[in-house]
Amino acid sequence: MTTELRRLRNYIDGEFRDAVDGRTTDVVDPATGEAYATAPLSAQADVDAAMAAAEAAFPVWRDVTPGVRQRAILKIADAMEARQEELLDAECRNCGKPRELTRQEELPMMLDQIRFFAGAARMLEGKSAGEYMEGLTSFVRREPVGVCAQVAPWNYPLMMAVWKFAPALAAGNTVVLKPSDTTPASAVWLAEVIGGVFDEMELPRGIFNVVCGDRETGRLMVEHDTPAMASITGSVRAGMEVAGSAAKDLKRVHLELGGKAPCVVFDDADIAAAVEGIRDGGFFNAGQDCTAATRVLVQEGVYEEFVTALAKAAAEVKTGDVNDPDAAYGALNNAGHLEKVAGFIDRLPAHAKVEAGGERVGDKGYFYAPTVVSGLKQDDEIVQNEVFGPVITVQSFSDEEQAVKWSNDVEYALASSVWTSDHARAMRLSKALDFGCVWINTHIPLVAEMPHGGFKKSGYGKDLSAYGFDDYTRVKHVMTAL
């Protein structure tokens, strides 16, 4: 006896559609390892249709007042909030996330971020008009860039979709969004919500479109002639491929890629607070977060104390399924990723020590125990490369100079944290650490008003904040004779 799988469909020009050629891919529940839905495996014809719809809708959406865009985006947030149980159904099944934790930690942030960008729609800024040459007045217009091709990841499928569509729509752009092939359900649900708002307001139906598919689908979107901008949150490899494809016709590119965040704990830090903050920042969302607190550098005088305390704290962290109220995190995203995370532990050098965890949990789904590894050296694979799982590594350092050198000695540069009671030291480290975010005596909080984005192989461009909004605009100089 087989259970009929739910059928997800693309959302193009206000209509739900199967892929033109009828191809599909299975969508697997990470908590069970079993397929529960199918989604379109979209190809060129589907991408063409979505791009045509977005292109046709752009002139109308571009030319409505910022106030109209604000009202539409606020209505989207209100509709999501009113239908939050459906949202949680889709997102938690998508990802294997604990439901109540997602309700408390992710849902409020999403809604706040959408509402922030609704306000940003009415805050377009530029230099004031002036006579910089005699007899001539100059001013700046800030305009939308056009159609945006956006690719969202699987670790926070809905929140990362929010980070993309909200500033793009607020600035007056139209959107073709591709969710990850492993987590399309919440994006398809989102399309229904947004489509309902645009229908209610009698706005063009092609303003927001969702195309499901795999890596090839994403490539077709980025290489398409229509988009003026490509935005992706994903791996370094994916970001490089997108940048290369976009270069062929000089599209704008917005990249938020991997991370390997150092957490630098000095001997004057509040050790209990550092352990708690790093535990929470390292294991949240099963460590599947490019800002996760996964690489800890501890000053040698408190190293043993810290390792012992962190291992004990990790042993008290529980992973569990969607409906487990005590679960601090859920399953890893897919079987391949579980294998990747386990591989880092299997390949540990002889000088490393697993202080906690280090094994799969259960015999179904993709659960992995909260893991702490000590005794590591700077050039070890697990120190240099992103694990993207519930694994925290700990190294010992001697002084501030060494801490800064080792912190910066990775290819990533997204986020970092400093744990110290010395304000001057914290200020020195905030300058010296080569990362897009430096937290002091905390790790992982984000707010809509502040930018998020990295340097080096963590990508470029900013999410959130007015800086993220500006990334979806272009600047035009207008000069007129008096």
The helix, strand and coil proportions of the chain, stated in percent and rounded to the nearest 5, come to 40, 25, 35
Amino acid at 310: L
Residue where the block lists tokens 């008096």: 482
- Say which DSSP state 125 is in: -
339 is annotated as an active-site residue? no
Instruction: Report the side by side order of strands in the sheet with 147-151.
Output: 15-17, 10-12, 208-210, 174-178, 147-151, 229-233, 252-256, 459-460
Tell me the C-alpha distance between 323 and 276, whole Å.
24
Q: Which residues pair with 37 in a beta bridge?
A: 6, 27
92 is annotated as an active-site residue? no
In three-state form (DSSP H/G/I as H, E/B as E, the rest C), the secondary structure along 263-310 is EEECCCCCHHHHHHHHHHHHHHHHHCCCCCCCEEEEEHHHHHHHHHHH
Tell me the C-alpha distance between 292 and 415, whole Å.
8
Catalytic residue among 256, 263, 355, 437: 256
- Say which DSSP state 329 is in: B
Tell me the C-alpha distance between 196 and 192, whole Å.
6
Catalytic residue among 290, 355, 386, 437: 290
Please answer whether residues 83 and 141 qualify as being in contact, where contact means their C-beta atoms are separated by less than 8 angstroms.
Answer: no
- Say which DSSP state 1 is in: -
Query: Hey, which residues are catalytic here?
Result: 256, 290
